[in-house]
Amino acid sequence: MKSIGGVKDENGVSSKPSEEVKAEPEKIDFSNVKIEPLFEEEVDFDTFSKSDFRAVKVKECVAVPKSKKLLQFTLDDGTGTDRTILSGIHSFYEPEELVGKTLIAITNLPPRAMMGIDSCGMLLSAIHEEEGEEKLHLLMVDDHIPAGAKLY
């Protein structure tokens, strides 16, 4: 049997080599985007370095009963103990689309009670205004980054 430019498997069946097709990145028009101005006040390095930013994996995410805005996240932060963080982002995300994602959180904020539930940290997101409407995107990172990895 002859196979031109192909590969034979153990049964002698030829197949064409797979060609990698690289998709063009989606072009995004940012011309109608409005962002908040940068802070003018500087923060010294010692103050910044006290913030503990970590990669966290979403184990579970549910809407908080009796709240239109809040989602309750159960997160793996690498410590072996689940971390709960509440975030007012329900108008931007449905809970089920976030399960399994790797996000960024600041983990050393003091607990803050919301709807009777302690939120132990804050998820980071990017916000901007587009055509008069607020847009929010959680910072999601590569799933190869393990839970608990520290950001510098």
Q: DSSP string spanning 46-93?
A: HHHHT--EEEEEEEEEEEPTT-SS-EEEEEE-SSSS-EEEEES-TTT-
Highest CATH level, class, for 53-138: mainly beta
pLDDT digits (tens, 9 = 90+) for 91-105: 999 999 999 999 999
Domain ranges for the chain, please list them.
53-138
Reading across the β-sheet that carries 33-34, which strands appear in turn?
33-34, 125-130, 133-138
pLDDT digits (tens, 9 = 90+) for 118-146: 999 999 999 999 989 999 999 999 999 99
Terminal Cα-to-Cα distance of the chain (whole angstroms): 58
For residues 86 and 73, give the distance between their C-alpha atoms in angstroms, rounded to a whole number.
6
Tokens of 51: 């913030």
Half-sphere exposure at residue 77, Cβ-oriented, CA atoms within 13 angstroms:
23
Shortest CA distance to 104 belongs to which of 86, 122, 82?
122
Confidence of residue 5 (pLDDT cuts 50, 70, 90): low
Shortest CA distance to 148 belongs to which of 83, 54, 82, 85?
54
Pairing verdict, β 117-119 and 7-8: unpaired
pLDDT digits (tens, 9 = 90+) for 23-34: 788 888 888 899
What residues contact 40, with CB distance under 8 A and at least 6 apart? none
